[in-house]
């Protein structure tokens, strides 16, 4: 397009004429926009009492509906605008007009763009004006309007190019839809293949680049919104740049086509002869591949899946190819048999490439060179320290080293043997609370009592997202969990060492405690409370119990000193634990597993937002709880028994006695809570339960009552204490249960009642019959444990 064209005197009348032709589409489109935009929004707002974020949701929904409408009407309008090329009579009329072909094209393109982008822009701004209440929303709105306008231009120019390549409107429509769908389909299928067959490669990686919509302009704005929502700025910028390049490229080709197209092509096949062949071949790949993958998944017959895939690929691909051939040739008059050679060639090539994925193509074992990596996001945390990057690549290597060993190689489609499904695990990860994100037993990793000393990242999902200093990044997701079988393939000891090193690094500690290490955040503290917390687990259940034991002063001087002490302890902690929920399973007591390592004091710090919209985003490295009602968020930090500086600071400031006081009250009311776990009321079970509770109580008392590191205490006293406890338990067991018969199944009594908490009636409730005896045993065991600890640490409690 040259300035000469834009300034030519013929442009304006042709533009106006083409715009007039598009009037009907423009009116219908505007009505849709009006109804789904301003009218609907005003109606909902006028009938709603809510204010604020609800409006913004409304605005987002409207803008997304607008994107879909824009794509649809761009398609319709572009077909209509350039339909003059597809009718011999109109070609006569326009061809004879005193205007060159460039002017003819540009005038029609501008008119078409005006008819779609004009109403879109006006209605979008109107809708934003009605619904937008915040700067963020306005930013999102304007961004969406901008990307949608770019999409309209890209899609319009693309369809115009196709229109010049085709002889009829129907062919233009088929090729336009086909080209968009085939591109997305081919990329989707190939990525699906890679993801399904090659362990570690992430399906979502496709979303990180504009590859999915590279030649599917109708998807540009939707993809842009996805990036915006996912806050993928890099992808967003890449997409926008590509959008502009695409427009420029397509415009160049369309102008070329406009000047090369022969008028007689109208109603007569294709101006570009190879175009239908490409569409037919592409459709055969997509349809054949799609059905082939489904058939292979359904067949589930191991390596034969690949042959099932090929069979259906060939059949369905042929059907798709033939149907399109009949459509394009308007029957069988076209030369079907010769064109089948193209089909056979495409099919052979596609299957060869797909089979190639069976061998991993090197992607299954590839780990980037740490020297080339700028940063790596591992388990949702971005590391930039070169040492940590190196550690993470080593962890990655431990995984890749076991990949081929564990999984049957070469891989095959539908191989469920390694339950590898990164898409699933990623979703699982996103939807799951922190309990499942980090899995370790390590509070007492040096203790002889522990057996399974393994970190597991994300429990089932482990991600590596590398950003390079130069070039494309690398993303891998793995499905990882510890079981005995897997231990044969993966070097978990090495991985554990590497993870310990990583999580003990200063960089990680600061990431995981970003508010604590931020001096300015001290001024935003609303409250800081100490809680006692522990995990309980009985059988398959586990629960988290927390109880407040002290409120700290928010005085800035006190708080700065306290936080400095805590920072120092965290930085000096040789085995720092990410402060997310920590699970620990102890094998000593068979199926009775109580969280032995999970009792700690935890610090709950409530911060206020600095300003609207400054609420931290979810981060799996710290326990974070936002409160949108009062504009605060809470960060929870563990204070381990080994944090001497912190305990000293608390002790120096008279906080410890308060902690001990509150804890003692709590501890002795504890027996009431264990009824919840007494589903099985047999004496044997009750005994184990009371013993386990007592051990936990003793260990907890070390850190919370006496300020003693439980690790040290366990190292010195655990075996003796356990022997003494079991001996005491024997005595008590005989005392309270010997004169009773022990039925195989406990008697229970049932009754109805009203639950005030849930504000509902319940029909039946069973209660263990031996609770009275268990109460007595537990109380005596707790007293015994408390005294044992007191004696062993040589301190006197204030209780």
Partner 1 sequence: MLEIKNVTKKFGEKTALNGLSFNIPTGSVFGLIGSNGSGKSTLLRVISGVYEPDGGSVEIDGVSTFENPEVKAQCFFISDFPYFYNNSTVANLSVLYKSMYPSWSDDKFRKLACMFPIGINDRIINMSKGMQRQAALMLALSVSPKYLMLDEIFDGLDPVVRQLIKKLLVEMVTENNSTIIIASHNLRELEDVCDHIGLIHSGGIVLEKELDEAKLGIHRVQIVFDHDVGEGMFSELNVVKMQRQGKLINLTIKGDGEQIEKYLRGMQPTYMEMLPLTLEEVFISEMEVVGYDIDNIIK
User: Under the rule (CB under 8 A), what is the footprint of partner 1?
Assistant: 8, 10, 12-14, 17, 20-21, 87, 89-93, 95-101, 103, 262-264
Q: Are 496 and 398 in contact (CB under 8 A)?
A: no
- State how far Cα 213 lies from the chain centre: 21
State in angstroms the smallest separation of the CB of 116 from partner 1: 19
Answer yes or no: are the C-beta atoms of 118 and 30 closer than 8 Å.
Answer: no
Minimal distance, residue 17 CB to partner 1, in Å: 5
The helix (H) or strand (E) run that includes residue 262 is none
> Shortest gap between Cβ of 215 and partner 1 (angstroms)?
30
CB-based contact 599:576 (threshold 8 Å) = no
Least spacing, CB of residue 3 vs partner 1, in Å: 16
Question: Considering the complex, what minimum distance in angstroms separates the CB of residue 128 from partner 1?
Answer: 34
Between 104 and 570, name the residue whose CB sits nearer to partner 1.
104
Pick between residue 35 and residue 93 the one whose CB is nearest to partner 1. 93
Report which DSSP code applies to 622.
B
Q: Which CB, 10 or 297, lies closer to partner 1?
A: 10
User: Which candidate, 763, 776, 770, 720, places its Cα nearest to that of 742?
Assistant: 770
Contact (CB, 8 A) for 436 and 448: no
Taking the least distance from each CB to partner 1, the nearer of 91 and 122 is: 91
Q: Which residues contact 217 (CB under 8 A, 6 or more apart)?
A: 151, 154, 155, 157, 158, 180, 243, 246, 250
Shortest reach from residue 31's CB to partner 1, in Å: 18
Residues ≥6 apart with Cβ < 8 Å to 216: 179, 180, 181, 183, 184
* Assigned token pair, 610: 């600095």
Measured from the CB atom, is 163 or 793 closer to partner 1?
A: 163
Task: Supply the minimum distance, in Å, between the C-beta of residue 339 and partner 1.
Answer: 17
Euclidean distance between CA atoms 596 and 700, whole angstroms: 9
- Token pair, residue 464, equals 């590596």
Reduced to 3 states, what is the DSSP secondary structure of residue 658?
A: helix
Spell out where 553-609 has E strands: 600-608
Q: Cβ of residue 263: shortest distance to partner 1, in angstroms? A: 5
User: At its nearest, how many Å lie between partner 1 and the CB of residue 32?
Assistant: 21
CB of 197 to partner 1, least distance (A): 46
Looking up tokens 């299954």, which residue turns up? 364
**Please, what is the minimum distance in Å from the beta carbon of residue 23 to partner 1?**
8
- In terms of CB distance, is 8 or 322 closer to partner 1? 8
Cβ proximity to partner 1: between 20 and 139 the closer is 20
For partner 1, which is the closer residue by CB, 93 or 349? 93
Q: Tell me how far apart the alpha carbons of residues 203 and 194 are, in angstroms, rounded to a whole number.
A: 8
Q: Are 647 and 707 in contact (CB under 8 A)?
A: yes
Asked if residues 499 and 455 have their Cβ atoms less than 8 Å apart, the reply is yes
| Beta carbon nearer to partner 1, 82 or 203 | 82
Q: How far is the CB of 261 from partner 1 (least distance, A)?
A: 10
Within 8 A by CB and 6+ apart from 723, the residues are: none
Which of 27, 371 has the CB closer to partner 1? 27
Minimum Å gap between C-beta 194 and partner 1 is 44
* Beta carbon nearer to partner 1, 265 or 593: 265
Q: Are 192 and 422 in contact (CB under 8 A)?
A: no
Q: Are 115 and 122 in contact (CB under 8 A)?
A: no
Q: Report phi then psi at 478, rounded to 5.
A: -130, 150
Q: How far is the CB of 21 from partner 1 (least distance, A)?
A: 6
How many Cβ atoms are within 10 Å of 610's Cβ, its own excluded?
Answer: 12
Q: How many CB atoms lie within 10 A of CB 658?
A: 16
Place of tokens 């219908």: 28
Helix (H, G, I), strand (E, B) or coil at 303: helix
Considering beta carbons, is residue 13 or 356 the nearer one to partner 1?
13
Residue with tokens 């015994």: 784
- Using CB atoms within 10 Å of the CB of residue 81, give its burial: 0 to 12 exposed, 13 to 18 middle, 19+ buried: buried
101/390 with CB nearer partner 1: 101
Measured from the CB of residue 374, what is the shortest distance to partner 1 in angstroms? 54
Classify residue 638 by its DSSP letter.
Answer: E
Nearer to partner 1, 13 or 539 (CB): 13
Which is it for strands 753-755 and 632-639: parallel, antiparallel or unpaired?
unpaired
CB of 371 to partner 1, least distance (A): 59
Q: For partner 1, which is the closer residue by CB, 21 or 280?
A: 21
CA dihedral 354, 356, 362, 365 (to 10 degrees): 70
Q: What is the 3-state secondary structure (H, E, C) of 41-96?
A: HHHHHHCCCCCCHHHHHHHHHHHHHHHHHHHHHHHHHHHHHHHHHHCHHHHHHHHH
| CB closer to partner 1 out of 15 and 36 | 15
Q: Which of 99, 550 has the CB closer to partner 1?
A: 99
CB-based contact 66:34 (threshold 8 Å): no
Q: What tokens were used for 54?
A: 């609800």
Write out the DSSP string of 101-142.
HHHHHHHHHHHHHHHHHHHHHHHHHHHHHHH--SHHHHHHHH
E strand residue ranges, 438-572: 438-439, 456-457, 461-468, 474-479, 525-538, 541-552
Minimum distance of partner 1 from residue 4's CB (angstroms): 11
* 547, 555, 640, 662, 725 from 551: Cα distances, Å: 12, 12, 18, 11, 34
Q: Which is nearer to partner 1, 105 or 607 (CB)?
A: 105
Find the shortest distance in angstroms from Cβ 164 to partner 1.
14
């Amino acid at each position: 397009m040259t300035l000469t064209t834009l300034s030519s005197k013929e442009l304006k009348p042709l533009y106006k004429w083409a715009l007039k032709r598009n009037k009907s589409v423009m009116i219908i489109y505007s009505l849709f926009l009006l109804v789904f935009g301003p009218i609907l929004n005003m109606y909902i707002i006028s009938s709603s009492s809510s204010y604020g974020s609800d409006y913004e949701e409304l605005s987002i929904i409207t803008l997304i509906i607008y994107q879909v409408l824009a794509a649809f009407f761009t398609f319709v309008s572009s077909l209509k605008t350039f339909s003059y090329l597809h009718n011999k009579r109109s070609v006569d009329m326009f061809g004879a007009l005193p205007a060159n072909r460039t002017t003819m094209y540009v005038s029609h393109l501008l008119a078409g763009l005006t008819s779609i982008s004009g109403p879109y822009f006006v209605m979008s701004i109107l809708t934003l004006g009605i619904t937008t209440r915040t700067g963020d929303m306005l930013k999102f709105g304007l961004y969406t309007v901008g990307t949608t306008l770019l999409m309209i231009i890209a899609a319009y120019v693309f369809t115009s190019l196709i229109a010049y390549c085709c002889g009829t409107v129907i062919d233009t429509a088929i090729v336009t839809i086909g080209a968009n769908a085939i591109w997305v389909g081919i990329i989707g299928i190939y990525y699906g293949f890679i993801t399904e067959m090659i362990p570690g490669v992430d399906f979502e990686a496709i979303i990180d680049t504009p590859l999915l919509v590279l030649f599917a302009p109708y998807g540009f704005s939707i993809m842009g919104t996805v990036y915006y929502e996912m806050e993928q700025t890099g992808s967003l910028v890449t997409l926008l740049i590509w959008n502009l390049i695409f427009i420029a490229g397509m415009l160049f080709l369309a102008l070329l086509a406009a000047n090369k197209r022969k008028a007689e092509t109208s109603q007569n096949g294709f101006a570009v002869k190879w175009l239908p062949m490409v569409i037919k071949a592409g459709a055969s790949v997509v349809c054949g591949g799609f059905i082939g993958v489904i058939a292979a998944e359904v067949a589930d017959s191991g390596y034969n899946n690949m042959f099932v895939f090929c069979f259906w690929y060939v059949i369905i691909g042929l059907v798709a190819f033939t149907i399109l051939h009949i459509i394009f040739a308007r029957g069988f008059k076209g030369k079907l048999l010769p064109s089948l050679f193209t089909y056979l060639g495409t099919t052979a090539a596609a299957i060869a490439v797909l089979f190639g994925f069976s061998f991993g193509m090197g992607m299954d074992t590839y780990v980037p060179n740490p020297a080339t990596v700028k940063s790596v996001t591992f388990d949702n945390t971005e590391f930039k320290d070169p040492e940590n990057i190196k550690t993470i690549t080593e962890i990655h290597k431990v995984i890749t080293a076991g990949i081929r060993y564990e999984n049957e190689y070469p891989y095959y489609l539908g191989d469920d043997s390694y339950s590898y499904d990164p898409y699933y695990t990623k979703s699982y990860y996103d939807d799951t609370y922190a309990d499942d994100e980090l899995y370790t037993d390590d509070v007492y990793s040096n203790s002889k009592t522990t057996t399974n000393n393994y970190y597991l990242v994300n429990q089932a999902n482990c991600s590596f997202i590398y950003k390079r200093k130069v070039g494309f990044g690398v993303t891998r997701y793995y499905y990882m969990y510890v079981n005995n079988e897997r231990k044969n393939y993966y070097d978990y000891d090495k991985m554990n060492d590497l993870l310990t090193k990583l999580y003990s690094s200063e960089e990680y500690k600061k990431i995981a405690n970003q508010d604590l290490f931020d001096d300015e955040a001290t001024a935003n503290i609303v409250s800081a409370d100490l809680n006692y917390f522990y995990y309980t687990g009985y059988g398959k259940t586990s629960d988290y119990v927390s109880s407040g034991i002290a409120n700290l002063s928010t005085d800035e001087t006190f708080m700065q000193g306290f936080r400095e002490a805590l920072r120092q302890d965290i930085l000096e902690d040789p085995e720092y634990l990410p402060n997310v929920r920590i699970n620990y399973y102890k094998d000593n007591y068979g199926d009775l597993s109580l969280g032995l390592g999970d009792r700690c004091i935890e610090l709950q710090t409530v911060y206020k937002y600095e300003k609207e919209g400054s609420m931290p985003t979810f981060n799996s490295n710290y326990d974070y709880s936002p409160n949108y009602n009062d504009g605060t968020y809470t960060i929870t930090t563990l204070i381990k028994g080994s944090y001497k500086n912190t305990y000293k600071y608390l002790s120096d400031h008279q906080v410890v006695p308060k902690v001990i006081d509150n804890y003692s009250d709590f501890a002795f009311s504890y027996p009431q809570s264990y009824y919840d776990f007494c589903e099985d009321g047999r004496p044997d079970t009750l005994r184990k339960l009371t013993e386990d509770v007592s051990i936990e109580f003793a260990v907890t008392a070390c850190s919370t009552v006496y300020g003693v590191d439980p690790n040290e205490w366990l190292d010195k006293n655990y075996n003796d204490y356990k022997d003494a406890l079991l001996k005491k338990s024997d005595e008590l067991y005989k005392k309270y249960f010997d004169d009773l018969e022990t039925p195989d199944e406990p008697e229970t009594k049932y009754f109805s009642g009203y639950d005030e908490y849930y504000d509902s009636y319940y029909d039946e409730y069973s209660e263990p019959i031996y609770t009275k005896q268990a109460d007595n045993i537990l109380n005596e065991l707790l007293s015994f444990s408390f005294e044992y600890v007191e004696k062993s640490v040589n301190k006197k409690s204030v209780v």
